[in-house]
């Protein structure tokens, strides 16, 4: 029990440092445009940041329950098994159908959002690298949409839900095996 | 005596090549599989080429060798080094079993200005197959001249236009997860002259060449969502082509450059749309609950092929470019994705999965048969050379994304290594 709290605290600390690092990085975010004639300009990225860059790889922790509290202001789970504490829903290969665990997590958050109208949420869809990048972009969006549909059954208005698909472009796990793929086929829920 | 001088010369070449290597050799190419029936040719070092930053004959030889259709002889085995027709002893070349030889010379005609002449000679008939000169060439364009000469030799000897004087676009990623930098780059088809087109901290996808190679359309996530941009390659000027809510992806220019096909999910899920660039008019082409994406135009601009999940698994469909009922093209295998037409419109290159992973395959429209070209399992983004002879694609090798090329008949295969960086999303330019 004691040990667990210390572990939790440690994770939160690690995450806070990480978040600070991310925030620092954000201001430097820029896009450079060049061409054949060495012409180049820099345009500042004025868009707001919605994404927390790579929460699942910090310290190798893949359980969203400990991280959720630190990353956003959303609900904190009591322990690792509480679906409300999780921020990531995983999917089967080439599937945009919720697993029973995924369904549980989505329902818990749908319920929470319904009774906490001060929150809106970003759903980031992701895919593993198998197949083609373009199809995976569409597939990853389907994954985010299935979560949105669950939220809708709890009466969460679509105006509070933002969906973005990154397809296979932003994996959290490197590697070309099922261990990595399983972590990369996901929807991340980011409270805002 | 002659041989000795030549040996000396070749030492100089090797040194100068080694010297320029760090600056220019962006990628190295390993030919992993070559053909046996390659045409034996000799590309003789051009007169006075040793003063140039790159030896033209070396560039030409390596181009021809890479195509798999030629086997250029090593200059160390030459019996003589002719630089004019008068010096050619056809007998020697017959002895060496060469089909043809190329000779040439370089004349400096001003500061940074060269005249280059080349001749292609038939060894058996003792006749000239081709002769061409390029005048007032700047040193920055010498590689281009070597590519043009390679194209001419390729066409004279095979009857098929060469595709050496072309470019490739691709996306390079450097750094580790959470701290990546993405680069959209273009390079000559042999990997030299790499140029940055865009640098971003967010992913870049799906570069697509304009029909004259003058511009690229691509997807960038720099606004933390997919947006399609177009960028002029001469001026660097860029503009947004598509920024609808949700997915803006898979751009593909019509053959006449007046329209852009793409996939958008603004109306619910990923569907194919065609946008008239001039009028801005957007036409919805598909309407299905499953994802539709990766549209590609037929060479006549009349139809589109695309990937659809409407059967439950991704398969290839064809539809009239102005809309209508899509017709399913592929039936075999678990999935078939990202089709694009061969330049002659007779076949499609696509990614197929028949259970053993994702591989490059060619589907013949006429015989409705599929031929798998590769043995790897994570192939993506196949793109035809403008002459239809080679296909460039991305795959995973040694744990990294690399570009690889395979001939359309699967006889030649090669890996292009760009240092330690991960490279994806290749797109071969049209003939420039």
Tens of pLDDT, residues B119-163:
999 999 999 999 999 999 999 999 999 999 999 999 999 999 999
Q: Could you write out the DSSP letters of every residue in chain A? A: -HHHHHHHHHHHHHHHHHHHHHHHHHHH-EEEEE-TTS-EEEEE--SPP---TTGGGGGG---HHHHHHHHSSS---SSTT-GGG--EEE--TT--SPPHHHHHHHHHHHHHHHH-TT--EEEEEE--SSS-HHHHHHHHHHHHHHHHHHHHHTT--GGGEEEEEEETSS-SS-SSSHHHHHHHSEEEEEE-
* CA atoms lying within 13 Å on the CB side of residue B303: 16
Average pLDDT per block of 10 residues along chain A, 192 residues long: 41 37 39 44 34 31 37 63 90 96 97 95 97 98 98 96 97 94 97 93
Q: Cβ(B377)–Cβ(B384) under 8 Å?
A: no
- In the structure, what pLDDT confidence band is assigned to residue B68 with cuts at 50, 70 and 90? confident
C-alpha–C-alpha distance, residues B194 and B59, integer Å? 16
C-alpha to C-alpha distances, A4 to A7, A10, A66, nearest whole angstrom: 5, 10, 11
Mean pLDDT of chain B: 91
Q: What is the pLDDT of residue B191?
A: 86
Q: Return the closest-CA partner of residue A131 out of B116, B2, B303, B307.
A: B307
Terminal C-alpha separation, chain B: 43
- pLDDT reading at B392 higher than 50: yes
Q: Return the closest-CA partner of residue A35 out of B430, B192, B234.
A: B234
Q: Which residues of A touch B292 (CB under 8 A)?
A: 138
A141/B197 CB distance under 8 A = no
Q: What is the pLDDT of residue A36?
A: 38
Q: What is the pLDDT of residue B425?
A: 97
Write out the two tokens for B266: 């603004």
B293/A36 CB distance under 8 A = no
Percent over 90 (pLDDT), chain A: 55
Crossing angle of helices B142-158 and B56-67, rounded to 10°: 40
Q: What are the beta bridge partners of residue B209?
A: B216
C-alpha–C-alpha distance, residues A101 and A65, integer Å? 14
Q: What is the pLDDT of residue B7?
A: 36
Q: What are the beta bridge partners of residue B41?
A: B72, B100
Judged on CB neighbours under 10 Å (0-12, 13-18, 19+), A133 is: buried
A5 contact B CB<8A:
no
Which residues, at least 6 apart from B280, have a Cβ–Cβ distance to it below 8 Å? Answer: none
Which residues, at least 6 apart from B100, have a Cβ–Cβ distance to it below 8 Å? Answer: B39, B41, B42, B120, B121, B122, B123, B129, B153, B157
Mean pLDDT within B34-61: 90
Q: What is the pLDDT of residue B276?
A: 97
Q: Could you write out the DSSP letters of every residue in A95-138? A: --SPPHHHHHHHHHHHHHHHH-TT--EEEEEE--SSS-HHHHHH
B232/A35 CB distance under 8 A = yes
Q: Cβ(A134)–Cβ(B207) under 8 Å?
A: no
Supply the ipTM of this predicted assembly.
0.89
Task: Compute the Cα dihedral for B18, B20, B21, B23 and give only its sign.
Answer: positive
Asked if the B167-428 domain carries CATH number 2.120.10.30, the reply is yes
Percent over 90 (pLDDT), chain B: 83
Distance of CA B99 to the CA centre of its chain: 27
| CATH class of the domain defined by B2-158 | alpha beta
What chain B residue is nearest to A177 in terms of C-alpha separation?
Answer: B399
Percent over 70 (pLDDT), chain B: 91
B195/A176 CB distance under 8 A = no
- pLDDT reading at B53 higher than 90: no
Mean pLDDT within B289-297: 97
| Domain boundaries of chain B, sorted by first residue | 2-158, 167-428
pLDDT, tens only, B343-370: 999 999 999 999 999 999 999 999 999 9
- What is the DSSP secondary structure assignment for residue B345, as one 8-state letter? S
Terminal C-alpha separation, chain A: 31
Q: Return the closest-CA partner of residue B32 out of B79, B82, B66, B76.
A: B66
- pLDDT reading at B294 higher than 70: yes
Could you say which of B196, B294, B378 has the minimum Cβ distance to residue A130?
B378
Q: What are the beta bridge partners of residue B173?
A: B182, B422
| Interface with chain A: mutation pick from B186, B195, B197, B249, highest number of A CBs within 10 Å | B249
| Interface with chain B: mutation pick from A23, A134, A169, A183, highest number of B CBs within 10 Å | A134
Distance of CA B350 to the CA centre of its chain: 16
A49 contact B CB<8A:
yes
pLDDT, tens only, A114-125: 999 999 999 999
Q: Return the closest-CA partner of residue B259 out of B240, B280, B289, B243.
A: B280
Q: What is the pLDDT of residue B28?
A: 54
Q: Which CATH number fits domain A2-20+52-191: 3.30.1330.60, 3.30.160.100, 3.40.630.30, 3.40.50.620?
A: 3.30.1330.60
| Interface with chain B: mutation pick from A169, A171, A183, A186, highest number of B CBs within 10 Å | A169
Write out the two tokens for B228: 């399609």
Q: Which residues of B touch A50 (CB under 8 A)?
A: 224
pLDDT, tens only, B77-107: 999 999 999 999 999 999 999 999 999 999 9
Q: What is the pLDDT of residue B216?
A: 98
Task: State how beta strands A88-90 and B113-122 pair.
Answer: unpaired
| Out of A70-74, A175-179, B248-252, B426-430, least confident range | A70-74
B313/A35 CB distance under 8 A = no
Indicate the SS3 state at residue B173.
strand
- In the structure, what pLDDT confidence band is assigned to residue B35 with cuts at 50, 70 and 90? low
Which residues, at least 6 apart from B182, have a Cβ–Cβ distance to it below 8 Å? Answer: B171, B172, B173, B198, B199, B200, B201, B202, B203, B204
Q: What is the pLDDT of residue B399?
A: 87
Which residues, at least 6 apart from B311, have a Cβ–Cβ distance to it below 8 Å? Answer: B290, B328
Q: Cβ(B308)–Cβ(B290) under 8 Å?
A: yes
- In the structure, what pLDDT confidence band is assigned to residue B32 with cuts at 50, 70 and 90? low
């Amino acid at each position: 029990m004691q040990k667990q709290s210390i572990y939790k605290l440690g994770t939160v600390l690690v995450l806070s440092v990480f978040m600070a690092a991310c925030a620092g990085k954000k201001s430097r975010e820029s896009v450079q445009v060049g061409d054949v004639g060495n012409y180049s300009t820099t345009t500042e990225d004025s868009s707001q940041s919605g994404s927390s860059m790579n929460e699942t790889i910090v310290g190798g922790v893949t359980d969203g329950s400990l991280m959720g509290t630190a990353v956003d202001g959303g609900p904190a789970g009591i322990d690792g098994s509480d679906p409300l504490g999780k921020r990531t829903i995983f999917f089967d290969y080439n599937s945009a159908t919720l697993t029973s665990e995924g369904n549980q997590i989505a329902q818990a958050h749908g319920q929470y959002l319904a009774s906490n109208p001060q929150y809106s949420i970003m759903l980031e869809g992701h895919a593993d690298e198998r197949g083609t990048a373009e199809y995976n972009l569409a597939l990853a969006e389907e994954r985010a949409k299935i979560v949105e549909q669950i939220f809708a059954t709890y009466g969460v208005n679509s105006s509070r839900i933002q969906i973005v698909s990154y397809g296979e472009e932003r994996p959290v796990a490197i590697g070309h095996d099922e261990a990595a793929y399983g972590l990369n086929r996901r929807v991340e829920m980011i409270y805002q | 005596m002659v041989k000795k001088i030549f040996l000396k010369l070749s030492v100089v070449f090797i040194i100068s090549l080694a010297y320029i290597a760090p600056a220019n050799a962006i990628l190295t190419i390993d030919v992993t599989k070559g053909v046996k029936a390659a045409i034996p040719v000799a590309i003789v070092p051009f007169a006075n080429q040793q003063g140039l930053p790159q030896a033209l004959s070396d560039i030409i030889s390596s181009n021809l060798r890479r195509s798999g259709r030629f086997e250029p002889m090593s200059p160390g085995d030459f019996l003589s080094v002719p630089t004019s027709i008068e010096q050619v002893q056809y007998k020697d070349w017959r002895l060496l079993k060469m089909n043809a030889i190329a000779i040439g010379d370089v004349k400096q005609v001003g500061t940074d200005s060269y005249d280059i002449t080349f001749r292609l000679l038939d060894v058996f008939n003792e006749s000239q197959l081709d002769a061409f000169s390029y005048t007032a060439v700047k040193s920055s364009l010498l590689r281009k001249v070597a590519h043009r000469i390679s194209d001419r030799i390729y066409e004279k000897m095979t009857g098929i236009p060469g595709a050496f004087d072309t470019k490739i676009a691709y996306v390079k990623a450097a750094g580790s997860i959470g701290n990546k930098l993405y680069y959209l780059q273009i390079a000559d088809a042999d990997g030299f002259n790499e140029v940055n087109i865009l640098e971003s901290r967010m992913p870049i996808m799906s570069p697509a060449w304009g029909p004259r190679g003058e511009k690229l359309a691509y997807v960038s996530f720099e606004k933390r969502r997919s947006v399609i941009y177009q960028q002029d390659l001469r001026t660097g000027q860029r503009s947004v082509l598509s920024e609808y809510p949700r997915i803006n992806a898979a751009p593909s220019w019509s053959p006449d450059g007046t329209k852009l096909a793409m996939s958008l999910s603004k109306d619910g899920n990923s569907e194919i749309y065609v946008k008239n660039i001039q009028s801005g008019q957007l036409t919805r082409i598909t309407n299905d609950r499953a994802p539709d994406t990766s549209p590609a135009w037929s060479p006549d601009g009349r139809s589109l092929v695309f990937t659809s999940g409407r059967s439950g698994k991704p398969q290839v469909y064809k539809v009239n470019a102005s809309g209508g009922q899509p017709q399913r093209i592929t039936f075999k295998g678990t999935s078939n994705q990202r089709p694009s037409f061969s330049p002659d419109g007779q076949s499609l290159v696509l990614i197929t999965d028949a259970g053993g992973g994702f591989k490059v395959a060619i589907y013949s429209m006429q015989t409705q048969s599929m031929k798998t070209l590769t043995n790897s399992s994570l192939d993506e983004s196949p793109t035809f050379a403008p002459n239809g002879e080679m296909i460039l694609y991305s795959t995973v090798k040694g744990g990294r994304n690399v570009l690889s090329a395979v001939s359309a008949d699967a006889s030649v295969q090669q890996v292009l290594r760009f240092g330690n960086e991960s490279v994806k999303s290749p797109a071969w330019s049209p003939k420039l």
